[in-house]
Chains A and B, each alone.
Chain A
Amino acid sequence: MINFGYTIWILLLPFLMFLLLGLAGHKLKPKLSGLLGTAGLGIITVLSYITAYKYFFTSEKVDGAYQKIIALNGVWLQLTENLHIDIGILLDPISVMMLIVVTTVSFMVHIYSIGYMHGEKGFERFFAFLSLFSFSMLGLVVATNIFQMYIFWELVGVSSYLLIGFYYTKPSAVRASKKAFIVTRFADMGFLIGILILSFNTKTFDFISLTSLTGPAITQTGGAAFMGLSVLTWSMIFVYMGGVGKSAMFPFHIWLPDAMEGPTPVSALIHAATMVVAGVYLVARMFPIYSLAAPDALNVVAYVGAFSSLLAAVIACTQTDIKRVLAFSTMSQIGYMMLALGVSGYGGHDGLGYMASMFHLFTHAMFKALLFLGAGAIIHAVHSNHMTEMGGLRKYLPITHATFLIACLTIAGIPPLSGFFSKDEILTAALHHNKLLFAVEYAVAGLTAFYMFRLYFSIFWGKETHYHHTPHEAPALMTIPLIILAIGSVFAGFIPFSKLVTSDGMPFESHIEMSVAVPSVLIGLIGIGIAFIMYRKETAIPDRLAAAFKYSYKWSYNKFYVDEAYIFITKNIIFRYISTPIAWFDRHIIDGTMNSIAFVAQLVSFRIRGFQSGQLQKYGFVFVTGAISLAILLIYLWK
């Protein structure tokens, strides 16, 4: 048994860094605080690579399967005798893999940000938030129990809120951050309810005992049924709701495009590589339950994933804001991962989808971060993020151009780039499980290739727009991360994932199925081709097409009006038809009742003042009547 105790620093370091930069940041020099943050993250990155090495290659396996190792664990809050929230570190293939992803991308982004955010107001605040995010994300990844995951889940939520709203004087940014937080919060409510139901039935939060094949969750799958689904299924669906929110799946995807209001490095880190895949990670973490005990829930996962990826891909084809295009492509790719999980089985070769999903998560983190950082470099250069205001940038930004191209090819699934392998695995899994879903994903592959290259061509080729000042290549601090990530996304495909990250820890053989690979590559090429024709040089084709499919274009351009639906619900239903009436009711009915009591007292007191008429004889009359009536009452009526 290897001692992983040092991994505590993976959590502590960024937290301390956050406290340092948050409390004393404004006293430090911006440069220094940036360096501090980056250095801290560098250390963590090193630590996690060491951890990965030790875990995968030196930790002993039990009959060939990687074990779940509790590096350390402590009770944080005792709830009931057997329910307690722990804070700890759980190491297993996926968490270690996520450690790599998070630290790597985060480190890159840190370096990149030093250049990108140079001279921004609140530089140190930015790095403080980044450290907070890294802390939360790592905590989420290594969570030993579902409640710890929920805790850090909320924390990543808030740090994303803070980072999206980083330019807090910009109303759009404020709105976006608010939207992101509330939408995900709503989803998290589902997550919480799921946790409550689950823990009520299993009496534990702990992942290991939850997911162990002999654990209460899987063995006692029965329980009271509601609408034909077992309690467990319901709880898993609720839990998945949280994942849907974080991973911007339909119908909770609306926050993701707006989240692009944040600084581009943030988009790269949070809204492309790490936080948004938390949902996928959640499902993967609970995978045995989904797969063995709640297959219906797993189907929900699959279909939601597929639909979201298709929707996103269609929308992405018509967006003009490059970051939004990338955002939708992120959503689409995550849809892939969800689908892969959804179509996967548990154990051995059935777990192909699971492996593929994790694989894709890994590669996607690389190339999507690369894309975003590239986009950042471009925006940095032209001070706009509308592709209509770009064109012919390839000669100004050679490095960015190269890396961006690599990334596009990767995401389009062109071999031998990493994207090809992961996507191929997913398609294979889908094909074996469900033809319909396969078809959808197949189409999405084509669309992906198309919109990515639409983006690529209209930025780097297309019409030469005259810029106010000639764009220039980004500084080295920004280009180096690009290059590193490019290398990563080129070679990541050759990592033998099926040996390392599998549903049950047992390595298995995976191979390229030509029957899937060839068509997928083909459709990718077709997509690229169409994009080439339409956007290589500026032509009238796009407009004519747009005119031809006016309505579908309009719908897609307006993201199928989901936002509008939401605004309707919030503004009209909640504000106008619930809150306002309640406020009114409270002020006028309830409070009115209270006041009316006083009023009634006054009124009565005014009405009965006639008794006190000042007429002596009336007094005498009342006196005598009182005496007599009292006598009658007590003698005859009420004896």
Chain B
Amino acid sequence: MSPDKFLIMRHELLLTAVVLVVLIAEVFSHPDKKGKIITLSVICFGIITALGFLPSAEGEIFGGMYVSSGSRLMMKNILNIGVMLVFLQSVDWLRKAENSDKISEYFILLISTLIGMNFMISSGHFLMFYIGLELATIPIAALAAFDKYRNNSAEAGIKLILISALSSGILLYGLSMIYGTLGTFYFKEIAVSFSNSNLQILGFIYFFTGMAFKISIVPFHLWTADVYEGAPINITAYLSVISKGAAVFIFIIVLFTVFPVIIATWQKAIYLTSILTMTIGNLFAIRQQNLKRFLAFSSISQAGYILLGFIGGNQLGMASVIYYILVYIFSNLGAFGVVLAISNASGKENIDDYNGLYHTNPKLSLIMMLALFSLAGIPPVAGYFGKFFLFTAAAEKGFYPLVIIAVLNTIISLYYYLLIVKAMFLLKNESPIEKFKSSMYTRFALGLCVAGIVVTGFASALFEFIRNLSFGI
């Protein structure tokens, strides 16, 4: 196998390179010049994000363990964009004194999880998939526990690592059954020889729960809120957008390519869980005061909506899911970016701290409102188009009851999103968050988010592009 074949895994290689660069920089940089590392790594990552868009060969290596195709490349690029935004947003946070000695850890861990996700996405074999999964999970636990001196952070870390261990255990157990019945781990071979025996279905369901854990689908979502609340905000953002996005990507790929035979089964499973996820997520979100926890539940209900794209098993569905993840990255990172900026400036994370925010920080409030409207699916911002396509995808296969339940759920979510808008615009506050000016990085990131939120919707070419790359059963 000629070495240039390895260029297929360009994303992973580049990311690894960045990790190494950061590592070396960490080793050789002067202790009080660590701040430079931030710039360095951000720039490096920016470069590789750009490089990711270069045309790349498709194909497989390692005997089909690693598959690279247009859609998967696009997914990786989408994730890259998201991580780029996260990095930009977390600059201010990293510059704080208490993080000065952990800068490179942050980047290394984060990028290595991204590597894991990339492998996971382009895996053609369950071993590769599993490695990617774990690589994408374990460092995040460390990141969640990043703030050594905060109880919540540690708690978040332990909860995440233990539950993920449990879930991966269950997932593996399922895999072992599938292996036992079919004797292979290759997606292709499983797809062809998969029959409808109970054992296989059991195996599939255990696999399903493992993925459900990553996407935080009810009833496998309970860790989400606590971890999101405890972890540092940008880690939460990362969890809620990137790792969830990656899981969604690989999940839809696996469902469509590996388990098309038992579509009837997983449609039922998704039918139930999506309804549960939307409703429970919304119902919990109503009551939240802490914004991170609030956004955690909102992201749970979002996962419920995303499942509507799965259920049809159709090309439109996959397209709308990928598209929605893109939109969701912009919207959610917009919201988290505002939360992060404010928490950096004032340390406030509760909704009623935001009262009267508009009068002191109009720009931030407007961005927040835009992001929330996008999450709620209000036109003309991108979220509206995303949701519309998801619902269309479900309706195309005639799941009208599900669609109706979903649209009614959007009303509940609109309600709690409006609660924040209300706090920012309507309510008065005797001691509002005073006016502040955040760093160029943050503003750039937020600018990108706003641009994404506004443009992504109208740019029909983008959706067409995604749609052409995606496939149905």
Contacts and interface: CB of A to CB of B under 8 A. Distances in A.
Contacts of B286: 601-602, 605
A407 B60 CA distance: 117
A614 B151 CA distance: 14
A605 B412 CA distance: 12
Contacts of A627: 170, 205-206, 209, 220
Given A602-B287, A606-B287, A630-B209, A623 B222 contact: yes
A223 interface: no
Interface stretch (A139-147, A426-434, A532-540, A631-639): A631-639
Contacts of B412: 601
B195 to A, nearest CB: 14
A626 B219 contact: yes
Interface of B: 158-159, 162-163, 166-167, 170, 198, 201-202, 205-206, 208-209, 213, 219-220, 222-223, 225-226, 265, 268-269, 272-273, 280, 283-284, 286-287, 412, 415
Contact of A612 (B158, B198, B208, B225): B225
Given A616-B163, A619-B163, A623-B167, A608 B219 contact: no
A631 B222 contact: no
Contacts of B213: 623
Grouping DSSP codes into helix (H, G, I), strand (E, B) and loop, the A interface class, with mixed when no group exceeds half, is helix
Contacts, number: 79
A630 B273 CA distance: 10
A600 to B, nearest CB: 10
Contacts of B415: 598
Contacts of A618: 222
Given A605-B287, A623-B220, 9 more contacts: A602-B287, A609-B287, A612-B225, A614-B226, A622-B219, A623-B167, A623-B209, A633-B272, A634-B265
B163 A630 contact: no
B205 A623 contact: no
A634 B203 CA distance: 12
A620 interface: yes
A604 interface: yes
Contacts of B158: 616
A605 B284 contact: yes
A226 interface: no
Interface of A: 598, 601-602, 604-606, 608-609, 611-612, 614, 616, 618-620, 622-627, 630-631, 633-635, 638-639
A207 to B, nearest CB: 56
Nearest to A627: B209
Contacts of A604: 283
B209 A612 contact: no
Nearest to A598: B415
A638 B415 CA distance: 35
B159 A616 contact: yes
A489 to B, nearest CB: 73
Contacts of B287: 602, 605-606, 609
A627 B163 CA distance: 14
30 contacts: A601-B286, A601-B412, A602-B286, A604-B283, A605-B283, A605-B284, A605-B287, A606-B287, A608-B280, A608-B283, A608-B284, A612-B225, A616-B162, A619-B159, A619-B223, A620-B163, A623-B166, A623-B170, A623-B219, A626-B209, A627-B170, A627-B206, A630-B205, A630-B209, A630-B269, A631-B206, A634-B201, A634-B265, A635-B202, A635-B205
A344 to B, nearest CB: 68
Contact of B205 (A624, A631, A638): A631
Contacts of A625: 219
Contacts of B205: 627, 630-631, 634-635
Nearest to B293: A612
B121 to A, nearest CB: 24
A606 B288 CA distance: 11
Contacts of A606: 287
A634 B280 contact: no
A210 B209 CA distance: 81
Contacts of B208: 630
B401 to A, nearest CB: 16
A625 B170 CA distance: 12
Contacts of A616: 158-159, 162-163
A599 to B, nearest CB: 11
A513 B297 CA distance: 100
A157 B385 CA distance: 56
Contacts of A612: 222, 225-226, 284
B254 to A, nearest CB: 17
Given A623-B209, A627-B209, A638 B268 contact: yes
A616 B283 CA distance: 21
Among A602, A614, A634, A638, find the residue whose CB has the most chain B CB atoms closer than 10 A. A634
Contacts of B222: 611-612, 618-619, 622-623
Contacts of A631: 201-202, 205-206
